[in-house]
Structure 1
Amino acid sequence: MLQLNKVHHIAIICSDYAVSKKFYTEILGLQIIREVYRKERDSYKLDLALGDQYAIELFSFPQPPPRVSRPEATGLRHLAFEVDHLESAIGWLTEKQVDTEPIRTDEHTAKRFTFLADPDDLPIELYEK
């Protein structure tokens, strides 16, 4: 049987590297591990960490195709982050002019959550601990 230990990372392709880099580092607070420009692909690759865990590879490519729909397209549905206090997180995002959806409650876990979108409209969920 195949034994998977954990999710290693999530790869995201963005349409505007500078805007997405700012969003993921300055607004969501992920830490830069390394940033590489790959000349042969005219592409940046930014490795990001959440705490001490490698979490996201942010890629730029010339003219990537847009996402088909939100969030019901085949493929990644959304990216979810756990937060301690949902209202505090929403307050921070509001100060940074990032809109969030109304708070909802998961009918199976009774945990509260909300959604926002990254600069390319990738759905991001904040799920309260």
Structure 2
Amino acid sequence: MKVKIVNQSSNPLPAYSTVLSAGMDLRANLEEDIVLKPLERVLVPTGLFIELPVGYEAQIRPRSGLALKKGITVLNTPGTIDADYRGEIGIILVNLSNQDFIISHGERICQMVIASHETVSWEHVEVLEETERGAGGFGHTGKN
């Protein structure tokens, strides 16, 4: 699939790290470092603008290494970029560690997955079909 992209940063275009990777790393587009303090959140610009085809979204997800090693994650995971959005991709990062984290220009801050989605139309009914599970949820099986 081809997706139109405008790159207003000096960073390379997002790319897959391996042949079977689902996500592409996005990089911070900064004029100066950002110091992200513990429990602080910030919107990090990427300098990227995309035009997705109808029926697709871009999902913004944390990088597992940053989450495990530094406690840095994407706050609204997964973030969704809709096909009709034309603004700059901005990433909401949060520092869940107890130490400051410095975000520098070019730092890989998240990953982006392009995924198809369906558009539903609701069918209003009075009763839903019964299932074995029924309305059970939130640990209803009792299994740990």
Q: Assess same fold via TM > 0.5.
A: no
User: Which TM-score applies when normalising by structure 1?
Assistant: 0.24
User: Which TM-score applies when normalising by structure 2?
Assistant: 0.22
Relative contact order (C-alpha < 8 Å, sep 6+): which is higher? 2
Q: Which has a greater percent of helix?
A: 1
* Greater C-alpha Rg: 2
